Chain A
Amino acid sequence: MNMQTTPRLTAAETALVEAFGAQIGELPGNGAVIGTRDRLLDDLKKAGLPTRRIESWHYTDLKTLLRAIPDAVPSAVIDPLSPIVEGSAVLSVLDGIADIKATADGIELSLFKEKLADGSALAGLTALDKDDAIGRINGSFVRDGFALVVPAGAEIAEPVELQALHGAGQIHTRFPASFGARSKATIIERHRAVMEGAAFVSSISDIALEDGAEITWIILQQQGAADTHLGQIRAKLGTNAKLRLFVVNAGGKLVRQELRIDVQGEGAELTLRGVNLLGGDTHTDVTLVLGHNVPHTNSTEIIRNVVFDKANGVFQGMIRVAPDAQKTDAKMACNTLLLSDDGGFSVKPELEIFADDVICGHGATVSDIDRNHLFYLMARGVPENKARAMLVNAFVAEIVEELEDEKLVEALEGVISAWLEKHA
């Protein structure tokens, strides 16, 4: 038997390598960008898709879970949807291609494919570390997206919806966004399958908040039951910047949402809220790596999960407090309602603390619906199934209500209720 020098590739790995070979001729990018794409794919090929042996992928063995990559198919004709919040500016990306006519008041907008073509997107095309499979896949294959620049001091009144709709095939998008000092905006990043057939989606949002910017960023993932969604948020917070990040997962078969956040300016504050609605046979993983890198920063994270059917959920939350980051205040909670014996949920809330004058804590719970709560409602004449539905709804709606903005709350509650009605 011959010793193999390179490990054998799985079907999905082979499909990725072949797809790259087939697509590289038409992927946008100047010489340097193409060179970087080559290198990222080469790294992916050498390392392979991550397995459970890699700590950050412990609960999502991508090598095993990602069995196949659907073939790339020519773009289908897709019509934009109306935004989930009335009055929002819609920036649509249909089947991975950004609408060249899109505009949003007060925002300097450019097409990501143009930034690839002129090489200005090069700096962002990196893997964050040696285990960053999403960075490698997206960097190799990304075709388009929008780059947003909000000027200093600008206050964008209405939400901006980045509407990524797609059919079957391979979709790789990217949304770099920079928010100038003291700017204010609400961005809704919405991913949704609108046709039958499996899709393989990767999407990275690079968000930079300059000093004093106050931004709400909502990710609404509603992929199809056969879709793979690999999402990544890279965020950097400057002095006194405030980022409210909401992540709602309500679809997809294999989902990984990575949140890589660096709090880099004193007085900065991160508020992360997550709602994971898991049904069918989905495997959904939300992984947070949060760095408190300077003194006097705050963060709170609350993740609520509901698990039905044969769904499996994962939350990994790592909070890292750097050696000089004194007076850090970080609190994280992850609560799960496990409603099915065939489902499962794994939590790994991690604290890595190198400074002493900090207050950090995390809590995690996993349980069924509280029988006392159920009894309370049933004793008042609410039938059991309805009582359960009410309690589940209340469990996640509580998180959404923190958004305060009525229209936003209503829109997200609508998404949640519709999902629960379908699954519960």
Chain B
Amino acid sequence: MPAVQETIDQVRGIDIDQYKYGFETVIEVDKAPKGLSEDIVRFISAKKNEPEWMLEWRLDAYKRWLTMEEPTWARVEYPKIDFNDIYYYAAPKNVTGPSSLEEVDPELLKVYEKLGIPLKEQEILAGVEKPRVAVDAVFDSVSVVTTFKKELQKAGVIFMSISEAIREHPELIKQYLGSVVPTTDNYYATLNAAVFTDGSFVFVPKGVRCPMELSTYFRINEKNTGQFERTLIIAEEGAYVSYLEGCTAPQRDENQLHAAVVELVALDDAEIKYSTVQNWYPGDAQGKGGIYNFVTKRGDCRGARSKISWTQVETGSAITWKYPSCILRGDDSRGEFYSIAVSNGHQQIDSGTKMIHLGKNTSSRIISKGISAGVSQNTYRGQVSVNRRADNARNFTNCDSLLIGDKCGAHTVPYIDVKNASAQIEHEATTSKVSDDQKFYAMQRGIPEEEAVALIVNGFVKDVIQQLPMEFAVEAQKLISISLEGSVG
């Protein structure tokens, strides 16, 4: 079956009200009492068997959070979140910590199988080696399993849940945790610092090229539960790692909160490639339910000639508030940001990036494609700043928006601050609709309207799709088509 036909079939089968990953799994859980207090912070820390210094770190953040105000500058509207009406900790019972696959609840394994996430370490079949991906699966508040740990260890790569890392590698955690996104950074990052429950930790030592793609799969299952995960990736001198992140949640009438923090550190000559396919439940066609996604992601190109690249495909969530950024501190460092943000139904997206040029000869590139349909609002918000000492900084920004339907909105809010004369900054943005000419051209050759639009949209996002690892690219393309279902005609 040709790829396009396959996509179309998939699109037909599923409309916006039928979120593919909306199933709920009944699993016995261990929950903290509802609400947020110092006791809850202590409870989470105790559940994780954390050392005293970690608890102190969390409590500091909690105290700071109490003094902070929820930011209101983004173009998103939502009823006030009652932070005391959320469960801050929910873990499947019988998970004492990620260990071997055999110990994991078979119900849980079924969930991931349904989601199409390979948790079984794949064998070499008939002499053909398939591309392998190591997965850290996070279910509600805890990491349930991390695959390929042993093999990665052989290469010197540490890949484990962050709770484990706090216990096993305290020196690395102490050195790097909060060094890119400090606990004082912003409202949601501070909240995350106080109550984060799990996440992934990656450490790639000097000179090592990580032998396989690393991946984390997040799933929110429980009702009224917030997910607060924290990811920390460190690439030492000359190291390379590619990391993928995926997320889904069941279909529910109420809104759920997801406030994650991701920190990346690249030392001299290191490279980190971080790809996200975000497919949280977006709510139904009437805008009921869906995930509130408030995420702080930041990469620090700390070393000379280091490189950090963010690629994101945002199709889910009722609200997305997310600005993966690069601090280009090292000389000759490079930051990249590729983004596709698709909004349909009542979704609201306010997303973009920041490129902070501090070192000399730094360069950055931003390609952002926003697609809005239905009655959604889609905002690109980005900043490029060139410090007074950042000689020869170079930036290219391109953000395009595509509108499908006359009830949606597409907005572009770039901030450009240049304080060095040797900088070369280019920014361009366009907004248009799927042109009638393009559609006519495709349709008069016998391609039905919906397929024609899918074709044009795929062409529109091609630049970004190309940046994704192969397996993700296929998934992303399908997701985009599904997200736009019902928006034509």
Chain A contact residues, CB within 8 Å of chain B = 55, 58-59, 323-324, 326, 336, 338-368
Contact = CB atoms under 8 A, between A and B. Distances in A.
B487 to A, nearest CB: 11
Contact of B428 (A336, A345, A361): A361
Given A59-B417, A350-B414, 20 more contacts: A338-B421, A344-B417, A348-B415, A349-B429, A351-B401, A351-B412, A352-B409, A353-B403, A355-B403, A356-B403, A356-B404, A356-B406, A356-B433, A358-B432, A358-B433, A362-B427, A362-B428, A363-B426, A366-B423, A366-B425
Contact of B425 (A58, A357, A364): A364
B413 interface: yes
A55 B429 CA distance: 21
B405 to A, nearest CB: 6
Interface of B: 73, 386, 388, 401, 403-433
B432 A359 contact: yes
Contacts of B412: 349-351, 362
A348 B416 contact: yes
Contacts of A338: 418, 420-421, 423
B449 to A, nearest CB: 16
A348 B432 contact: no
A358 B418 CA distance: 31
A362 B409 contact: no
A358 B431 CA distance: 7
Nearest to A345: B418
Contacts of B432: 358-360
Nearest to A355: B406
A320 B292 CA distance: 27
Secondary structure call for the B interface: strand
Contacts of B408: 354, 356
Given A339-B421, A344-B419, A356-B403, A365 B427 contact: yes
Contact of B421 (A55, A343, A351, A361): A343
A349 B403 contact: no
Counting from the closest, the 4 A-B pairs by CB-CB distance are A356-B403, A361-B430, A344-B419, A364-B427
A326 B411 contact: no
A363 B431 contact: no
B377 to A, nearest CB: 9
10 contacts: A346-B418, A347-B416, A352-B409, A356-B406, A356-B408, A358-B403, A359-B432, A360-B431, A365-B426, A366-B425
Contacts of A358: 403, 431-433
Contacts of A367: 423-425
Nearest to B389: A341
Given A346-B415, A351-B411, A357-B406, A368 B427 contact: no
Contact of B430 (A55, A354, A360, A368): A360
A346 B430 CA distance: 20
Contacts of B430: 359-361
B372 to A, nearest CB: 9
B411 A352 contact: yes
Contacts of A342: 388
A360 B403 CA distance: 11
A282 to B, nearest CB: 15
Given A345-B418, A363-B428, A354 B409 contact: yes
Nearest to A364: B427
Nearest to A339: B421
A353 B411 contact: yes
Contacts of B422: 341, 368
Given A338-B423, A353-B401, A364-B427, A348 B388 contact: no
A336 B420 CA distance: 12
Contacts of A323: 406-407
A350 B352 CA distance: 14
Contacts of A355: 403, 406
B388 to A, nearest CB: 7
B405 A349 contact: no
B429 A326 contact: no
Contacts of A353: 401, 403, 409-411, 431
B378 to A, nearest CB: 10
A305 to B, nearest CB: 11
Contacts of B403: 353, 355-356, 358
B418 A366 contact: yes
B438 to A, nearest CB: 14
A28 B287 CA distance: 54
Given A350-B412, A351-B410, A351-B412, A363 B429 contact: yes
Given A55-B73, A338-B423, A356-B405, A344 B418 contact: yes
B411 A365 contact: no
A280 B310 CA distance: 40
A347 B420 CA distance: 14
Contacts of B423: 338, 366-368
B428 A351 contact: no
A163 B158 CA distance: 73
A358 B372 CA distance: 14
Q: Which of A343, A349, A368 has the most CB of B within 10 A?
A: A349
A262 B182 CA distance: 43
Nearest to A326: B406
A346 B411 contact: no
B370 to A, nearest CB: 10
A338 B426 CA distance: 13
A337 to B, nearest CB: 9
A59 B417 CA distance: 9
A351 B401 CA distance: 10
Nearest to B395: A366
A341 B432 CA distance: 37
A342 B73 CA distance: 30
Contacts of A357: 406, 433
Contact of A349 (B73, B406, B414, B433): B414
A344 B73 CA distance: 25
A357 B420 CA distance: 39
Contact of A341 (B73, B420, B425, B427): B420
A390 B423 CA distance: 21
B397 to A, nearest CB: 8
A342 B419 CA distance: 7
A344 B393 CA distance: 14
B414 A348 contact: yes
B433 A350 contact: no
Contacts of B424: 365-368
A365 B425 contact: yes
Nearest to A314: B417
A350 B427 contact: no
Contacts of A343: 419, 421
